[in-house]
């Protein structure tokens, strides 16, 4: 019997996908915040959620994990939902 993981633990929100793509491209939190017109603190919350969901300790590990889990394609782009 497979255990079902709650949606929030396995899926990324559309905004998390946006933030993840920009993190994968090497953008800083401040740059992401300006681009998405949100506060840098909000970007940090998204980053922390992504790290938690990916079981990663830093941005590099997050991007590698995201690719391995299929959250990003080989070009660093979120896969279509």
CA–CA dist 1, 46 (Å, integer): 32
What is the end-to-end Cα distance of the chain in Å, rounded?
26
pTM for this one? Answer: 0.78
78 band by pLDDT with thresholds 50, 70 and 90:
low
Mapped onto helix, strand or coil, the DSSP state of residue 63 is helix
Burial of 34-56, coded b for 16+ CB within 10 Å and e otherwise, reads eebebeeeebeebbebbbebbeb
C-beta separation of 19 from 43 below 8 A: yes
Q: What is the pLDDT of residue 75?
A: 60
**What pLDDT, in 10s, does the model give residues 26-74?**
999 999 999 999 999 999 999 999 999 999 999 999 999 999 988 887 6
Which CATH number describes the domain made up of 14-68? 1.10.10.10
């Amino acid at each position: 019997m497979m255990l079902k993981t709650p949606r929030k633990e396995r899926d990324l929100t559309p905004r998390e996908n946006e933030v993840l793509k920009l993190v994968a491209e090497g953008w800083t939190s401040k740059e992401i915040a300006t681009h998405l017109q949100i506060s840098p603190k909000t970007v940090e919350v998204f980053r922390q959620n992504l790290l938690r969901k990916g079981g990663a300790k830093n941005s590099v590990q997050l991007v590698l994990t995201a690719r391995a889990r299929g959250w990003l394609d080989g070009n660093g782009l979120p896969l279509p939902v």
